[in-house]
Amino acid sequence: MTAGGDAVGAVWRDEWGRVLALLVAQFRRLDLVEDALADAFEAASRTWPEEGLPVNPPAWLLTAARRRVLDRLRAEAVAVRKQPLLVVDAELQQRAHEAAADPFDRTGAVPDERLRLLLLCAHPALAPESASALSLRLVLGVSTEDIARLFLTSTATMAARITRAKRKLVKAGVPMSLPDEAALGHRLEVVADVAYLAFTAGYAPGSGPDPVRVDLAAEGIRLVRVALDVLPSPRMLRALLALMLLQHSRRDARVAADGSLVLLPDQDRRRWHHEEITEALWLLSEAMAPPAADDRRTREYLLQALIAAEHATAPRAEDTAWDRIAAAYAQLEQLTGSAVVRLNRAVAVAESEGPEAGLALLDGLDERLPVGHRLPATRAALLARAGDVDRAAAAYDEALARCGNEPEQRYLRTARAALQER
Confidence (pTM): 0.77
| pLDDT above 90: percentage of residues in the chain | 39
> Given CA atoms 330, 332, 333, 335 in this order, what sign does their dihedral have?
positive
320 pLDDT more than 80: yes
Q: What is the pLDDT of residue 108?
A: 41
Mind giving me the DSSP string for 119-142? Answer: HHHT-TTS-HHHHHHHHHHHTS--
d(CA 277, CA 312): 7
Q: Are 198 and 216 in contact (CB under 8 A)?
A: yes
77 pLDDT more than 80: no
92 pLDDT more than 50: no
d(CA 177, CA 183): 12
> Could you report the per-residue pLDDT of 343-360, keeping only the tens digit for each?
999 999 999 999 999 999
Q: What is the pLDDT of residue 183?
A: 64
Mean pLDDT to the nearest integer, 314-333: 97
- Where residue 109 falls among pLDDT bands split at 50, 70, 90? very low
- Where residue 104 falls among pLDDT bands split at 50, 70, 90? very low
d(CA 422, CA 417): 10
Q: What is the pLDDT of residue 355?
A: 97
- Where residue 175 falls among pLDDT bands split at 50, 70, 90? low
408 pLDDT more than 70: yes
Instruction: Provide the β-strand partners of residue 404.
Output: 207
**Per the omega criterion (within 30 degrees of 0), is the bond before 265 cis?**
no
d(CA 283, CA 293): 14
d(CA 416, CA 394): 9
117 pLDDT more than 90: no
* Better pLDDT: 178 or 47: 47
236: CB partners within 8 A, 6+ apart? 188, 189, 192, 287, 293, 295, 297, 298, 301
- Where residue 135 falls among pLDDT bands split at 50, 70, 90? confident
Q: Are 191 and 119 in contact (CB under 8 A)?
A: yes
Residue 216: count of CB within 10 angstroms of its CB = 23
Give me the helix-helix angle, 155-171 and 128-138, nearest 10°: 100
